[in-house]
Amino acid sequence: MKPLRGHALTERGAALLTAMIIVTLLATLIAAMVLQQRRAVSVEAAERSRVQSAWILNGALDWARLILREDKRSGRPTALTEPWATPLAEARLSTFLAADVSHTEDGPDAFLSGVITDSQARYNLINLVDQAKVQPAEVEALQRLCVAVGVSDDVATRIASGLLAAVAPTSSNTALRPRQLDQLTWLGIDRDTIARLEPYVTLLPSRTPVNVNTASREVLVAAIKGLDLATAERLIQLRQRDPFRTTAAVEAQVPNLAPLAPGHISTASDYFEVRGRLRLEDRVLEQRSLVVRRGLDVIVLQREQISARDAFGS
């Protein structure tokens, strides 16, 4: 009987070990399934949040287009005293969605902000080349800007030469035509120089004059030959009280200068940059759009979205 009893104990031990192995396998499989499901839910939630954020920012862009359309309808000059130039300070998104205070308290911790800037407040580098030729007057204008911001004036000729090679109809380098300022590195311009020029220059699809009602004093010095920084500052103070309605009104303030070259300055703008920013907890989605006014139509030419961590609360 003792051998039988030992055999039974062995069978019971084997059965118990098998059961333990099966339970371990089942627990592992269940844990893997739960983890996989949790990841799928997280991915779906993140994608839903991204899509909803994009919808919100697109709605903000449409609102900006409406503001610019109404500004055009008013017939007033494009100036920093107009409603479009007032930034939207960061506000809780739920305040836009519900008038009832009890509902806003339950809203998500999402914050929306935005700003419209006049792209023609900056010098347009595309002006350097016209009809497959470098324009000497425009090169001189960019040289004056370079001197005003502390950049070597030979940068102007280098940018002009590079753009000519990129946009000429017979050029094989048209794919290298820069469309954003950081792409000026393709023309051999170093990043430090680009960073210094960035607040004052832009790259627009077509030639544009500088708007004297929105440009900085450095850009005004570039656009108006013979103008010094002190006189440019005086023009800025004058436009704050009463925006210039015509270029003749500008000429009247600088009678000692030569007549202004046609097409270099204006008192109205068509190109604008619209920036919208949505902050949700530690995640930020920013949308930047270039728009153009053609009559009362406001058309989106470029749109860029940037997603980043708002680690520093910026």
CA distance 279 to 184: 31
Tell me which DSSP letter residue 290 carries. E
Closest by Cα among 166, 159, 168 to 188: 159
In this structure, is the dihedral angle defined by the CA atoms of residues 75, 76, 79 and 82, taken in order, positive or negative?
A: negative
Closest by Cα among 207, 230, 75, 211 to 148: 230
Q: For 147-241, where are the E strands, in sequence order? A: 201-202, 210-211
Show the tokens assigned to 45.
């939630």
Residue recorded with tokens 């530690």: 282
Q: Position 226: which residue type?
A: G
CA distance 159 to 126: 10
Q: What is the pLDDT of residue 240?
A: 94
Domain layout of the chain by residue ranges: 1-32, 52-120+270-309, 123-198, 209-266
CATH class held by domain 52-120+270-309: alpha beta
With contact defined as beta carbons under 8 Å apart, do 226 and 258 qualify? yes
Whether the model pTM is above 0.85: no
The tens digit of pLDDT for each residue in 263-285 reads 889 999 999 999 998 887 777 88
Q: What is the pLDDT of residue 152?
A: 93
**Does the pLDDT of residue 55 top 80, yes or no?**
no
Residues of the chain with pLDDT > 90, as a percent, come to 53
Residues 6+ apart with CB under 8 A from 92: 104, 107, 109, 110, 111
Q: What is the pLDDT of residue 91?
A: 81
With contact defined as beta carbons under 8 Å apart, do 297 and 78 qualify? no
CA distance 79 to 124: 18
